[in-house]
Amino acid sequence: MKITHIKVLVNCPARNFVTVKIMTEDGTVGWGDATLNGREMAVVAYLEEHIVPCLIGKDAHQIEDIWQYLYRGAYWRRGPVTMTAIGAIDIALWDIKGKIAGLPVYQLLGGKSRNKIKVYGHASGKDIKETLVNLGKLIEQGFKAVRLQCALPNTEDTYGTLGDKKDYFELQSNRPLPPEQGWNTSQYLNFIPSLFKAAREKYGMDIELLHDVHSRLTPIEAAKLGKDLEPFRLLFLEDPVTAENQSGYERIRQHTTTPLAVGEVFNTIWDSMDIISRQWIDYIRMAVTHGGGITPMRKLADFAALYHVRMAPHGAPDLSPICHAAQAHLNIWANNFGIQEFIGFGNETLNEVFTHPLSFKDGYIFLDDTPGLGVDYNEKAAKKYPYKRSYLPVTRLEDGTLWNW
């Protein structure tokens, strides 16, 4: 089944997405997500200049060989741009294979390990009171697990909060240059335990709670935070320190039993090999789009399972419905799936462009049996929403020092 055409589509239905369309000689179409938040056009160039010309005429069924060709066949390996480009091609090829076979992708992976996919939502606010109100709303919607983020006192803009924006789409699509956010580590370490103390006092211990530090701490600071949060029984503490020096997670592990999660900035199994095999984390957060596609992610799942590490894929709104669908197929298959980040199915604009096979009820995602990934992309509708350059923020300490965002 030869590949005849590949298109790279860049549009902004509520926010920027890069979508790959692969067409075969019999007219079958496969869709892939190539979105890299704030660096979208770098992936577009990589695809159009260095990948698309190499794949025309190749057999779309040879997914493993094509993946190796794009990864091992290039001297310059790894990195977010390369792996996001490869990931989009790989996802689209799995979509094609499922459609031709008349089966959903999870059946091609080996079938279901579960009937539904547990997810966690986001609750945030300008203060603890507002955060707890929003937590209560998610509990009423049926969520069994919720990530809590809260603005620090007397701070206008703290990671994980919306400020004056109505949702993540409005927040992330209006940044023509990187905005700057302030940070005070001491204030943060003193404040966050009080947020979780208040949440447990109001809603008890049955709701599972999570928190994302977003790499703002040193290992010993993160160890202290993990220790302080132990009474509140978090499902996991995400990205307490940057992942470049992974031995920092060993230091944290030595001091706290709070479960740890990391990996949304990882792009290959090699990025996570040591941190998983040494059991310094409990959940791996790599996204299928940024991790090179379905082919390497199923290998990662099997590898992580050997070390009691569960899959908890990144699920922010900068990943398109194509990525979310691909992750749903992996999640329903992988025996060591833990939980999926979920911020809803987007807004009216997004849903005008993308259709998907997912539904939500009582804290779980359900996946139907549509062949392939079950996603579709309305090219005509997408043309109404041209690309708009937008960046992620940067962070500075109070003295002006650039810090980890």
Its pTM surpasses 0.75: yes
- Closest to 38 measured CA to CA, from 244, 265, 241, 246: 265
Q: Are strands 340-341 and 354-355 parallel, antiparallel or unpaired?
A: unpaired
Domain ranges of the chain: 3-105, 109-371
> CATH number for the 3-105 domain, one of 3.30.390.10, 3.50.50.60, 3.30.470.20, 3.40.190.170?
3.30.390.10
Cα–Cα distances (Å) from 133 to 163, 199, 207, 229, in that order, read 16, 10, 14, 21
Contact criterion met (CB below 8 Å) for 321 and 375: yes
Residue 46 has pLDDT above 80, yes or no: yes
Report the C-alpha gap between 281 and 162 in whole angstroms.
Answer: 29
**Percentages helix, strand, coil for the chain, rounded to the nearest 5?**
40, 20, 40
Is residue 356 annotated as part of the catalytic site, yes or no?
no
- Which residue has tokens 């190749």? 58
Q: Does the pLDDT at position 199 exceed 70? A: yes
Tell the burial category of 40 from Cβ atoms under 10 Å away from its Cβ (0-12, 13-18, 19+): buried
| pLDDT reported for residue 163 | 67
**Tell me, what's the pLDDT at 184?**
95
- Mean pLDDT score of the chain, rounded to an integer? 95
185-203 and 128-140 helices cross at what angle (nearest 10)?
40
What CATH number was assigned to the domain covering residues 109-371? 3.20.20.120
Produce one character per residue of 214-250: b if its CB has 16 or more CB atoms within 10 Å, e if not: bbbbebebbbbbbebbeebebbbbbbbbbbeebebbe
Contact 196, 204 (CB under 8 A): no
233: left (phi over 0), alpha (psi -120 to 50) or beta: left
How far is it, in rounded angstroms, from Cα 119 to Cα 146? Answer: 8
- Give the N- to C-terminal CA distance of the chain in Å, as an integer: 45
Q: Which of 158-167, 225-234, 237-246, 385-394 has the highest mean pLDDT?
A: 225-234
d(CA 272, CA 83): 14
Averaged pLDDT for residues 57-69 = 98
Q: Which two tokens stand for residue 191?
A: 């404040």
* Residue 159 annotated to the active site: yes
Task: Assess whether pLDDT exceeds 90 at residue 375.
Answer: yes
The string of pLDDT tens digits covering residues 273-303 is: 999 999 999 999 999 999 999 999 999 999 9
Determine the average pLDDT of the residues in 81-105: 98
pLDDT of residue 156: 67
- The fraction of the chain above a pLDDT of 90, given in percent, is 91
Q: Which one of 46, 106, 120, 159 is the catalytic residue?
A: 159
pLDDT, mean of residues 343-362: 94
- pLDDT for position 175: 85
Q: Helix 219-229 vs helix 185-203: angle between axes, to the nearest 10 degrees?
A: 20
Residue among 46, 168, 211, 214 flagged as catalytic: 214
Strands 236-238 and 208-212: parallel
Q: What is the pLDDT of residue 158?
A: 76
